[in-house]
Structure 1
Amino acid sequence: MNAPDTQLPEPRLTSLSHGGGCGCKIAPAVLSEILKGTAAMPIPKELLVGIETADDAAVYKLNDDQALIATTDFFMPIVDDPHDFGRIAATNAISDVYAMGGRPIMALALVAMPVNVLSTQTIGRILEGGASVCRAAGIPIAGGHTIDSVEAIYGLVALGLVHPEHVKRNADAQPGDLLVLGKPVGVGVMSAALKKGELGDAGYAQMIATTTQLNTPGPELAALPGVHALTDVTGFGLAGHALEMARGARCELRLDWSAVPLMAGVRALAAQGFVTGASGRNWAGYGTDIVLPAGFAAEDQALLTDPQTSGGLLVSCAPSALDEVLAVFRRHGFDDAAVIGGITATSNAPRVLVA
Structure 2
Amino acid sequence: MNVEQECFLLIASAVRSQASDVHLVPNEKRTDVRYRIAGSLSHQKKLSSSQAERLISHFKFTSGMDIGNRRKPQNGSLELQVEHRRLSLRLSTVPTVQGESLVIRLHSLKSLISVSDLCLFPKDVDQLKSWTHLRSGLCLLTGPTGTGKTTTLYSLLNERLELQKEQIVSLEDPVEKKHDHILQLEVNEDAGLSYGHLLKDVLRHDPDVIVIGEIRDQETASLVIRAALTGHVVFASLHAPDPYSALLRMIEFGIPNRDLSQCLQSITTQRLVKRRCPYCLSACTSLCIPQRSAVFATLNHTHIQKILSSDYQRNEMKLPSVFHSILKGVALGFIDQSELNRDFTYQGRNEFAEKIMVPAKTSSVAEPPSTTFR
Could you tell me the TM-score, scaled by structure 2's length?
Answer: 0.26
Bigger radius of gyration, 1 or 2? 2
Q: Name the one with the larger strand percent.
A: 2
